[in-house]
Amino acid sequence: MTAPGQFGVNGVQAERHWPPLTLAEAKRVLAFFPITAVPETVLWHGQRPFSATALISLTDGTMLFLKRHDPRLRDQNALTEEHAFMAHLSHHGLPVTAALTTREQHCALTDHGWVYEVFPPLPGLDLYRDVQSWEPFLCSEHAHAAGGTLARLHLAATDYAAPARPDRLLLSSFNAITNPDLETGLRHWAASQPGLNTTLNPEAWQQILRVLEPFHAKLRPLLTEIIPCWGHGDWHPSNQFWTSATPDAEICGIFDFGMSDLTCAAYDLAVAIERTAISWLSSHFAVSWSQLSALLAGYHRVRPLTPQERELVVAFLPLVHVEFALSEVAYYSTLVQDEASAHVAYADYLLGHAHWFAGRDGQHLLNWLRETLDAIAACP
């Protein structure tokens, strides 16, 4: 089948940064796995930008999900980190499916200069397959369900003792912004992002600090209140499978832990808000107020936030995108040589979102969020 375009920084684009998976490639890769059937058809190509994915049908009628990574982005060690967290969550009852292992019992495969992982299909519907991050839920009921499931994930992650992942591209990390000195934190972290310090000149770094420092000043007194906890890092309905297409649907599958890391529950909830509640891809950045209320209520029903966590959610929200946006600048500039997308990641994503939070509408959201979190907590 012909591969579609990919999700880009401004919506769907025709150009793909990574070549689509082929049937011949699927046959070669799956030969390393204890599978008797042979790949027969490529049913579908994913549109996500940072890897190549496909759904493969086999001669016995089964299907497998195949994912290919550039090792500069995710090597076998990186995937092993993700799979270990996924296994922990599955052990605690979360609907997470383990990757298939090769005949040598490896959960990822390096072959022909690429890194692969293979998953059985999740149950339910891939209801949001064509929905990008920064686009809302289909309804408030889905937002409520997603809030509750995220809370369950955080409860399950409480006793997960793995250390933070090594700094690498495209993690939902907070290593820079949780440094008491923002400039020091950014400088130290930026060294781990290939080409970032070359791409951004001193004037750009000063511009970044000017817009971020007022937000960091509000986070700084709360840093000692952080209780470390692993998070999903990209909580959006497109990373979930659903029991049906109706408003009363529940989440029956969670996937794509590529951005997961050791952060904290408040940060991961703020990421979920940033991913789903504000229409960043539109021209007017509208807030989905009812869905956001439902997301927060669903979370609270399962895992009420402490007063300190409520403050942290508000303080984190204008900053949760910082490290990922800067990492996108490095990724687009260095790995795929897409300078136009790198500029959008810097000007529109990193700075643009921060400027919005500094303006009237963003301040209104932050004040509303503080009041709403307190009101939800006060309800019996």
- Residue 7 confidence (pLDDT) above 70: no
Report the percent of the chain where pLDDT is more than 90: 91
CA 348, CA 202: separation in Å to the nearest integer? Answer: 19
Within 13 Å, how many C-alpha atoms sit on residue 32's CB side? Answer: 21
Asked if residue 9 has pLDDT above 70, the reply is no
Which pLDDT score, from 0 to 100, does residue 10 have? Answer: 57
263-300 CB burial, b ≥16 within 10 A, e <16? bbbbbbbbbbbbbbbbebeeeebebbeebbbbbbbbbb
Indicate if the alpha-carbon torsion angle 5, 7, 10, 15 is positive or negative: negative
Instruction: Report how far residue 242's alpha carbon sits from residue 147's, in angstroms, rounded to the nearest whole number.
Output: 14
User: What percentage of the chain exceeds 70 in pLDDT?
Assistant: 96
Which residue ranges form the domains of the chain, and what is each CATH number?
Answer: 6-119 (3.30.200.20), 140-378 (3.90.1200.10)
pLDDT of 149 above 60: yes
Residues 237-264, mean pLDDT to the nearest whole number? 98
Average pLDDT of the chain is: 95
Determine how many CB atoms are found less than 10 A away from the CB of residue 30.
Answer: 22
- pLDDT at residue 142, as a whole number: 99
Task: For residue range 171-213, list pLDDT tens digits in order.
Answer: 999 999 999 999 999 999 999 999 999 999 999 999 999 999 9
Number of H helices, E strands in the chain: 13, 11
Contact of 122 with 238, CB cutoff 8 Å: no
Is the model's pLDDT at 270 over the cut of 70? yes
The pLDDT, as a whole number, for residue 95 is: 98
Say whether pLDDT at 37 is over 60. Answer: yes
CB under 8 Å to 187, separation ≥6 — which residues?
A: none
Beta-sheet strands, E only, within 46-149: 52-58, 63-69, 109-111, 114-119
Q: Are 218 and 315 in contact (CB under 8 A)?
A: yes
In terms of Cβ atoms closer than 10 Å to its own Cβ (0-12, 13-18, 19+), residue 55 is: middle
**Backbone phi, then psi, for 264, in 5-degree steps?**
-160, 165
Q: How confident is the model at residue 132 (pLDDT cuts 50, 70, 90)?
A: confident
Closest CA to 8 of 132, 142, 149, 144: 132
144: number of Cβ within 10 Å? 21
Residues 265, 251: Cα–Cα separation, whole Å? 19
Confidence band (pLDDT; 50, 70, 90) for 14? low
In angstroms, rounded to a whole number, what is the distance separating the alpha carbons of residues 157 and 94? 10
Going by C-beta distance under 8 Å and a sequence separation of 6 or more, which residues neighbour residue 333? 195, 196, 199, 339, 342
Please give the angle made by the CA atoms of 174, 131 and 196, to the nearest 5 degrees: 35
Integer Cα distance of 58 and 41 in angstroms: 7
Is the confidence at residue 8, as pLDDT, over 60? no
pTM: 0.96
**Parallel, antiparallel, or unpaired for β 109-111 and 52-58?**
unpaired
Distance CA 240, CA 234 (A): 11
Q: List phi, psi (to 5°) of 348.
A: -90, -40
Residue 46's pLDDT is 84
Q: In the prediction, which pLDDT does 18 show?
A: 83
Burial class of residue 121, CB neighbours in 10 A (0-12, 13-18, 19+): middle
